[in-house]
């Protein structure tokens, strides 16, 4: 009877438990040191790869210069400068064109949303004007009307960025056009949110009429700016997809390319848009601040040194080395309508009537 009983398991002593604890601590410490060593090796590998690519790039430039030194050394430099200048000008044209298109889409959406309550509007190049003293206004239609435009832009931006830009159908400057459109759409929602909170205009009416405390307003504006910066940082790969070289791009070429295609077009385009909006930059600061919040979608991309294209586009025939005249003509048409026609104001009065007839059968 006593032999058949199972012996009770003895509990480890205090000394044994302490020794086990220190052994576990030592194992965890060793595992952390091992992971740190692996990360250190990975960083060394990346630095060595970048250094190797830099040397290859310099040797390639030296080889190309030596090949053209006999008869066309100056022509090589001039072609290189001309190609970089054309890339910058084409991206600048597409940047301004996409801004005007997204501005019109957002404002026209708000106009049609206001038409549901038979509210008319006047569209200017700097603002969308309503009759603020109309008795038809209510808390519901103020929130719905003001929210409709940025919300539609957010939907369009998500579709462009996460669907169309994942297709290989669009390449070269057509891909760059879709990318600038998507970024302006994101800015119309996130940038408009922070700008509206700061100026109590535009998208800020939604926040005001929801009666949010000032702490949540500030937190919401900071979160919007933070998300813009995150999208901008990981946006570098999208810009690199617009460069069709017929080969795997080198990291050493990323920074000059991002400066030509993203940073400089935003700086020059912002200056041009500010000049176009004179003298209403300070009278209506809502749109002016959004021009600057667009920088959060561009500037962080320049600091992403490890960015690579998500989609490899290996066709070199679509990449234009000259100016893209189709986009230039479209820019002249849209910018003329934006500045000249909308200067006097374009009055919209949309009346919608819905009727439902129900017939009962015998």
pLDDT, tens digit, 9 for 90 and up, residues 49-69: 777 877 777 777 777 666 655
Reported in sequence order, the residue ranges of 63-216 that DSSP labels E, i.e. its strands, are 121-123, 128-130
Which of 141, 109, 134, 164 is closest to 348 using CA atoms?
A: 109
What pLDDT band is residue 315 in, cutting at 50, 70 and 90?
A: very low
Total of domains in the chain:
1
What does the pLDDT read at residue 26?
85
The reply to whether 185 falls in a domain is yes
Q: Is the pLDDT at 150 greater than 70, yes or no?
A: yes
What tens digit of pLDDT does each residue of 174-188 get?
Answer: 899 999 999 999 999
pLDDT above 70 (res 96): yes
Is 207 part of a structural domain of the chain? yes
Residue 79 lies in a domain: no
pTM score above 0.85: no
What is the number of other CB atoms lying within 10 angstroms of the CB of residue 8? Answer: 6
Distance CA 260, CA 252 (A): 14
Q: Are strands 128-130 and 346-348 parallel, antiparallel or unpaired?
A: unpaired
Tell whether 30 is covered by a domain: no
19-33, 178-192, 309-323: least confident range: 309-323
Q: Which pLDDT does position 7 carry in this prediction?
A: 56
Q: CA-CA distance, 224 to 154, in Å (whole number)?
A: 13
Per-residue DSSP letters for 125-158?
A: SS-EEE-TT-TT--HHHHHHHHHHHHHHHHHHHH
Quote the tokens at residue 179: 């990318």
What is the C-alpha separation between 272 and 261, in angstroms, rounded? 16
142 part of a folded domain? no
Segment among 51-60, 112-121, 213-222, 227-236 with least mean pLDDT: 51-60
Q: Whole-angstrom Cα distance, residue 118 to residue 110? A: 12
pLDDT band at 243 (very low <50, low <70, confident <90, very high): confident
Lowest average pLDDT, out of 72-81, 106-115, 177-186, goes to: 72-81
Instruction: Please check whether residue 220 lies inside any domain of the structure.
Output: yes
In a domain, 221, yes or no: yes
pLDDT at 147 over 90: yes
The answer, yes or no, to whether residue 320 has pLDDT greater than 60, is no
Q: Specify the higher pLDDT residue, 166 or 357.
A: 166
pLDDT at position 313 is 55
Which residues on neighbouring strands pair with residue 130, listed in sequence order? Answer: 121
Q: Given this model, what pLDDT does residue 341 score?
A: 87
Express each pLDDT in 262-308 by its tens digit: 999 999 999 999 999 888 878 889 999 999 999 999 999 999 888 87
Instruction: Provide the domain limits for residue 242.
Output: 87-99+151-341
* Percent composition of the chain: helix, strand, coil (DSSP 3-state, to 5): 70, 0, 30
Residue 311 counted as domain residue:
yes
- Give the gyration radius of the chain's Cα atoms: 29
Higher-confidence residue of 304 and 76: namely 304
Look at residue 248 and tell me whether its pLDDT is greater than 60: no
Q: Are 191 and 154 in contact (CB under 8 A)?
A: no
Strands 128-130 and 121-123: antiparallel
Instruction: Examine the pLDDT at 203 and tell me if it is beyond 60.
Output: yes
pLDDT of residue 245: 54
């Amino acid at each position: 009877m006593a032999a058949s009983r199972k012996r009770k398991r003895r509990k480890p002593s205090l000394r044994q438990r302490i020794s086990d604890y220190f052994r576990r601590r030592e194992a965890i410490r060793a595992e952390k040191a091992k992971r740190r060593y692996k990360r250190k090796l990975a960083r060394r590998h990346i630095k060595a790869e970048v250094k190797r690519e830099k040397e290859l790039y310099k040797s390639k430039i030296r080889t190309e210069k030596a090949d053209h030194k006999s008869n066309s050394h100056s022509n090589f430099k001039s072609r290189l400068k001309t190609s970089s200048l054309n890339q910058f000008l084409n991206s600048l044209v597409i940047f301004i064109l996409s801004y005007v298109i997204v501005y019109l889409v957002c404002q026209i959406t708000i106009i049609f949303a206001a038409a549901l309550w038979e509210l008319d509007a006047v569209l200017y190049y700097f603002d969308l004007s309503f009759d603020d003293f109309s008795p038809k206004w209510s808390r519901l239609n103020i929130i719905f009307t003001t929210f409709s435009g940025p919300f539609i832009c957010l939907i369009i931006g998500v579709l462009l960025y996460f669907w169309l830009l994942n297709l290989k159908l669009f390449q070269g400057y057509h891909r760059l056009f879709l990318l600038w459109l998507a970024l302006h759409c994101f800015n119309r929602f996130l940038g408009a949110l922070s700008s509206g909170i700061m100026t109590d205009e535009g998208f800020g009416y939604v926040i005001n009429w929801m009666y949010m405390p000032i702490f949540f307003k500030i937190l919401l504006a900071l979160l919007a700016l933070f998300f813009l910066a995150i999208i901008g940082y990981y946006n570098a790969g999208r810009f690199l997809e617009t460069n069709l070289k017929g080969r795997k791009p080198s990291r050493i070429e990323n920074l000059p390319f991002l400066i030509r295609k993203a940073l400089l077009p935003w700086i020059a385009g912002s200056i041009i848009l500010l000049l176009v909006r004179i003298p209403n930059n300070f009278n209506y600061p809502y749109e002016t601040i959004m021009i600057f919040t667009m920088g959060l979608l561009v500037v962080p991309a320049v600091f992403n040194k490890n960015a690579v294209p998500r989609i490899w586009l290996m066709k070199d025939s679509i990449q234009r080395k000259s100016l893209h005249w189709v986009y230039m003509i479209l820019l002249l048409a849209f910018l003329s309508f934006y500045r000249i026609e909308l200067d006097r104001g374009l009055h919209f009065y949309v009346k919608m009537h819905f009727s439902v007839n129900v017939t009962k059968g015998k």
